[in-house]
Each structure stands twice: as C-alpha cells, then as structure tokens.
Amino acid sequence: MQLSGIATGLGRLGSGASNVCAAVTLAAIVVLMVVDVTARYLFNSPVPGAGEIIELAMAVLVFSALPMTTLRREHVTLDYLEHLLPANAQRVVGAIADIATAAIIGFLAWRLMEKSATIVRYGDTTPYLSWPIAPIAIFMSAMSAVTAVLLAISAFRPRRRYESFEEGSL
Amino acid sequence: MTAVAAGLGGMFLLVAGGIPIAFAMALAGFVGFALVVGVSPAMSMVGQIAFDTVMNYNLSVLPLFILMGNFITRARLSEDLYTAAHAFVGHFRGGMALSTLIACGGFSAVSGSSLATAATMSRVAMPEMRRFGYSDSLASGSIAAGGTLGILIPPSVALVLFGIMTGNDIGKLFIAGILPGLLGLLLYCLAVLITTGLDRSSGPPGVRTPWAQRLRVLGRVWGVLFLFAVVIGGIYLGVFTTTEAAGIGAAVAAVFAIVRGGMRAREIYGTLLASARMTAMIFAILIGAMIFANFVNVGGILQMLDGFLRGLDLSPLGVLLSVFVLYLVLGMVLESMSMMLLTVPIFYPLMMSYGYDPIWFGIFVVVVIEISLITPPVGMNVFVLRSTLPDTQTSTIFRGVMPFVAADILRLLLIIAFPWLVLVLPGSL
C-alpha cells in the first residue's frame, strides 16, 4: 500500500516535470523566434545563435514529450485488425505489442547512449555559441530509456485509463 | 530485392499486430539495413538518424504550425467562420453544406491538420444541418470532405513533411498549394449543388441574410484573414522564412486565443502540452520513416522499380497513373502521414527521372493522399467524424463522401492536364 503510494507519487512528480519541461520548451521556442525576427527587423541585430538554441530545444521538446505520448498510446497505430479479435485476445495482443514497442524504444535508447558516448568523447559543441551538446544527447537517451521501462510496466494495466497518465498514475 | 520485400512484409506484420507504425518502420528499416549492409553500420545509423532528425532547426516548423492550429482550434473561430459563410451562401440549395465547406476551407488556412478541421466542424455544423432536415449522408460527407481541404491549403503539415523528405523549399510548396486548394473547394461546392440537384430534399435552402447582417458577421472573421495574411503573405513576400512564419503565426494565434477566446493559463498549458505530444508523435514517425528510407536506398528497390518500369516502356503519364493507382491501394490500408513518409523516398526520385517538376509532384502526392483520407475502408477523416457523431453509421458517411471523391479525382485530372495550376504562383516567387 505504502510502496504503491510512493510509486504513484514518484510517477506524478516525474510526469509533471517532463510535461512542464515540454510545455516550457515549446513556449520558449516561440518566444525566441519572435524576439529573433523582431530584433532583426527593428534593431538590425538578430539574437546571436538563435538557430542553435532552437535546435537544442527541439531535442528537449521531442524527448520530454515522448514518455507521455507513448504511455497515452497516442502514437499512430492501425488497430482495425485488433478490433476484429474478441476482447480477451485483444488484451493479450495489446500487451505483446506494448512489450515489443518497449523493446524497440529501449533499443533506440541504447543506440542514443552510444551516440552520446561518442559526443562526450569528442567534446562536441554547437558551432557558434560553443554550447556542449553532450547533456542534450544524454537527455534524449535517458528519456527513451524511461519511456521503454514505463511502457513495459504499463503493458499489463487495464487499457481504459490511458488519459490518467497525464496525472502520472501508472 | 527479396530483402526489401521481406522488410515491407515484416513491417506490415508488426503494424497489424498493433505496434505503432513509427516503431515498426524503425525496426524493419534497421533489420533490413543490417541484412544488406551489415550489423555494425546499421547500429550507428539508428542513433545518428534519431539524433539528426530532432536536432534540426528547419523541423521546428512542425511543432510551431501544430501549436498555431491548436490555439486557433480552441479560440472557437470555427463557429464564426461557419456563421459568416452561412450568411453569404445559406440561401442556396444545400446552403449549409456549402457553408460547411467554405468554413472548412477558411479554417484550414490557419490550421495544418485535416483531422482537426473535420473534428471542429462536425461539432459546429452537424447539429445545424440536422435541425434543417439535411440528409445525414450529405451532412457528414461534406464535413469529412471539407476536412481534407486542410491538407493542401497552407499551412500544411503534409507539405512540410514532403519538403523535408525531398529537400524542397517548404515556402514554395505552400504557395503552390493555394490554387489547387481553392480549386478543390470550388469543385466540392459544385458536388454539393449537383447532389442537392438530384435529390432536392437532401439539402433544403435556408433564408437569405440581409447585407447589413452579412457585413457584421464578416467582421468577426477578420482574425483568420489576418493570421493567414501574416503567415502566408510573410512567406510569399519573403519577409521571413517558413520557420519564422510558423513561430510568428503561433505567437499571433496565442494572443488571439487569449484575447478573443478568453483562454486561461491552464488551457494555454494544456494546448502547449497537447502540441508537444503531437510533435513527439510526428517525430517518432519521421525517425522511423528516415530509418526505413535508408534501408530502401541501399536495398535496391529503386533500381528494381525503375528497371521494371523501363521494361514496360510506359510513357511518363503512364508511370504517373500507375503511381496514382498504387497510392489508392496503399491508402486503403495506411494512414496518410505514414503513407507519405513511406512512399516519397521511393517515388520521388523515380518521378524526377521521368521529368516531373518536384513542387508539382509534391502537390500531386498530397492531393492523392487527400483522396485516401476519405476513401473506404480506412478513411481517417471518416473515422474521426464517426467518433464525434456516435449515432451516424460509417457506411452513411462513406456514401455521403462519394460525390466529393469524384470531385477530387476531377481535380487530380485537372492538375495533371494543366500543371500551370500548381506552378504559376510559386513561379512568381
């Protein structure tokens, strides 16, 4: 009881953090772009390195939204074949599909980890601002890993409550 | 060749089992690439592609246009658009169906998504049409078809994806979509007039609105016109790049939703979040499609297909029509976005070798996909509509959509016969 309470609390905290991160990043991209264009036209001086910041922000945006998108089953799926099956079989096939998807995302996390290691080794930075890229690459890999683990755990939960993943209860 | 067939087959198997199409494409692409080139290069390819796809300045156009559309959807502009259109054409035969189509056209000029357009319009227009005794098939058909206008009239997520996959200028693609989009609207309206002409009871005319009233409701939609003018006008005149236009558009739409739609902080957060999730969903497909495209490139399917077609000795038009038929078949099982991302890497180089214009082919592909959005058995717009109208049969919607499919095919033939329709506006850029 207490353990599951802690798990729910952690889930809420984690999903809340990643959601805020995604929303704030998207808003920041908009603001940065508006400021950049305005500054270029009004003061003839665009924001230095705006393009680079947006590139890094894109990676943060996509991968901070990945866990929620996946847990809420919002990826495009062709489920019309599944609907032909009886309800029980649907649940089994659905769970298998979730596990397989989790495995693919886990594989992606591993590949991104390898890529991050290379970036760390070479100390890659953005060309103009010289910001390090490694933290972003590690973030991408970590968020994929989190997504894979959570999806695998949630595979056996009842399917009707996907929207509740917003609140972080697995 | 066998590798490619196995890759495609494996992918469809995974998808049929309920694995999201993005991850099925990624897996099939990885395994295929590993079989053809080797495991080690395939391993590094996956990480590299995932990394490069998200860390891309130009691709920020996707979340920004999605955000703009989501703000506009929640600013309740669709009601105003419908009322305005109705004030002008409501007294015609089938006037409410015409209003629906025009409102859809207007809505899609500020939203990049076809499904969002269909979903919002069904809430506004369907109860009205029912109240005035419209047949369910005409009412639902016009909403489902009207939604497809959104995919071509800029801003358009589909055209963005095409531009990204093929390295063509997204701004040019947008401008090229304007005339074919308007032509589509015109032909859809004709389809309504013909349908109601054949069966007068399916869409009775409404009351004529006086001019004073017309001007008043027209004043309420200036926001849509303003937003369209800023975004598309800005791109056309070269004031800013497509990516910047998307950013400005999202900001203006946000101001609009707050000032006119009375949106609160909580809803703004929700809109940002929903847009972020949609972005993650699209990027997952994009990464999967890029991995699969890499496999297609090394798998020799292009050479095989090219050799096969050369052997048939078809004219360029014959090849184009074969591609069209293939798209219709694929559209019966695949969803539009994945279909686009899956096929363009194969067909684009092929059609270029037959001398077609890249921008023209982009519009052609999008029109064909638009048709597949409303054709059975998997018409995404029809399904979205079905979920918002629980008491309407899927078969009723499909029946209602048929006149519009005919209009779409007519439009496609016009675009093939007169490429000018597509190329005149971007040519003047």
**Which pLDDT value is given to residue B269?**
93
Q: Cα(first)–Cα(last) distance of chain A, in Å? A: 15
Distance from CA of A134 to the nearest CA of B (A): 12
User: What pLDDT sits at residue A168?
Assistant: 43
**Cα dist from B196 to B87, B118, B135, B403, whole Å:** 19, 21, 10, 11
pLDDT (0 to 100) of residue A63: 97
**What tokens does A40 get?**
């270029």
In this prediction, residues B255-269 reach a mean pLDDT of: 87
Task: Tell me which of B271 and B128 has the higher pLDDT.
Answer: B271
- Distance between B344 CA and the closest CA of chain A, angstroms: 19
Residue A170: per-residue pLDDT:
42
Mean pLDDT of B282-305: 84
Poorest-pLDDT segment among A10-14, A117-121, B47-51, B208-212? A10-14
pLDDT of residue A89: 84
In this prediction, residues B61-76 reach a mean pLDDT of 86
Percent of chain B residues topping a pLDDT of 70: 94
What band does A80 get if pLDDT is binned at 50, 70 and 90? low
pLDDT band at A140 (very low <50, low <70, confident <90, very high): very high
Q: How is residue B13 written in tokens?
A: 């198997």
Residue B147 CB neighbour total at 10 angstroms: 32
pLDDT score at B210? 85
Preferred mutation among B273, B330, B332 to probe A, highest tally of A CBs within 10 A: B273
pTM of the model: 0.87
Q: Which residues of B touch A25 (CB under 8 A)?
A: 276
With b meaning 16 or more CB within 10 Å and e meaning fewer, what string describes B377-393? ebbbbbbbbbebbeebe
Q: pLDDT value at position B108? A: 81
Q: What is the number of CB-based contacts under 8 A between chain A and chain B?
A: 173
Q: Is the dihedral of CA B117, B120, B123, B129 positive or negative?
A: negative
**pLDDT-derived band of residue B156, with 50, 70 and 90 as boundaries?**
confident
The whole-chain average pLDDT of chain B stands at 85
Element (H, E) at B240: none
Q: What average pLDDT score do residues A112-137 get?
A: 93
pLDDT beyond 80 at A10 = no
Using pLDDT thresholds of 50, 70 and 90, give the confidence band for residue B11: confident
Q: What pLDDT, on a 0 to 100 scale, did the predictor assign at position B380?
A: 62
Contacts of A56 in chain B (CB under 8 A): 55
Does ipTM surpass 0.85 in this model?
yes
Please check the confidence at residue B144 and state whether its pLDDT lies above 50.
yes
Say what the pLDDT of residue A141 is.
96
Q: What percent of chain B has pLDDT over 90?
A: 29
Cis ω on the peptide bond leading into residue B377 (within 30° of 0)?
A: yes
Residues of A in contact with B15 (CB under 8 A): 77-78
- Residue at B30: amino acid letter: F
Side chain identity, residue B98: L
Asked if A33's CB is within 8 angstroms of B243's CB, the reply is yes
User: Average pLDDT for residues B9-18, to the nearest whole number?
Assistant: 83
Strongest mean pLDDT among A2-6, A33-37, B256-260: A33-37
Residues B142 and B376: their CA atoms lie apart, in Å, by 16
Judged against a pLDDT cut of 90, whether residue B248 lies above it is answered with yes
pLDDT band for B94, please (50, 70, 90 cuts). confident
What end-to-end distance do the CA atoms of chain B give, in Å? 42
Say yes or no to pLDDT of A1 above 70: no
Dihedral sign for Cα A71, B254, B72, B340, please: negative
Residue type, B303: Q
Question: Average pLDDT in the B104-113 region?
Answer: 80
Position A23 scores a pLDDT of 96
What are the extents of the domains in chain B?
Answer: 57-427
How large is the C-alpha radius of gyration of chain B?
22
Which chain B residues are Cβ-neighbours of A138 within 8 angstroms? none
pLDDT number for residue B176 = 93
Which chain B residue's Cα is nearest to A71? B277
Residue A48 predicted with pLDDT over 60: yes
Q: Which residues of A touch B240 (CB under 8 A)?
A: 37
Query: Which of A51, A59, A78 shows the shortest C-beta gap to B15?
Result: A78
Is residue A78 predicted with pLDDT exceeding 50? yes
Chain A nearest C-alpha distance from B23 (Å)? 7
**Per-residue confidence at B323, pLDDT binned at 50, 70, 90?**
confident
